[in-house]
């Protein structure tokens, strides 16, 4: 939890969707459901990145170019991962596991400093 409600809410949703992907495996719901949930993850990820990028622009965050570049690189990796999954070169378990690792690493390295900057700016000057 970074302390900024709307961003924390997005992150919670991303983790929940990824866990739901794992649950489709556990419950043996089949490839249609797996396809659906991976599509939902990619859409939620894109929407979340746009959301953060709008917030960074609005507060003129100095680290926004690097943060955005990390989002873009990450989306390219996710596309590749999903393609491998669709071509049966990797498992959905590996996709979900990799996504969770990336999400947490990105939150720690990129989102946390940005949210700290945003919250510090929002505090009234004393």
Residues in contact with Fe ion by the rule CB under 5 A: 52, 110-111
20 vs 68, beta carbon nearer Fe ion:
68
* Ramachandran angles phi, psi of 2, nearest 5°: -95, -15
Closest CB 30 distance from Fe ion, rounded Å: 30
10 vs 34, beta carbon nearer Fe ion:
10
**75, 45 in Cβ contact below 8 A?**
yes
58 vs 125, beta carbon nearer Fe ion:
58
34 vs 52, beta carbon nearer Fe ion:
52
CB closest to Fe ion, residue no: 111
Closest CB 97 distance from Fe ion, rounded Å: 19
C-alpha radius of gyration, the chain, whole number: 16
Question: How many residues can be counted in the chain?
Answer: 126
Closest CB 6 distance from Fe ion, rounded Å: 11
Contacts 24+ apart (CB under 8 A), 75-79: 75/45, 75/46, 75/49, 77/102, 78/42, 78/45, 78/102, 79/42
Closest CB 77 distance from Fe ion, rounded Å: 14
């Amino acid at each position: 939890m970074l302390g900024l409600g709307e961003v924390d809410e997005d992150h919670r949703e991303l983790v929940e969707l990824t866990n739901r992907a794992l649950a489709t495996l556990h419950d043996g719901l089949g490839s249609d459901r797996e396809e659906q949930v991976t599509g939902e993850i990619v859409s939620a990820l894109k929407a979340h990145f746009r959301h953060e990028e709008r917030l960074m622009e609005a507060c003129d965050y100095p680290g926004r170019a690097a943060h955005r570049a990390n989002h873009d690189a990450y989306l390219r990796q996710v596309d590749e991962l999903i393609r491998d999954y669709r071509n049966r070169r990797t498992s959905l378990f590996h996709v979900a596991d990799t996504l969770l690792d990336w999400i947490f690493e990105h939150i720690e390295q990129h989102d946390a400093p940005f949210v700290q900057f945003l919250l510090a700016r929002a505090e009234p000057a004393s």
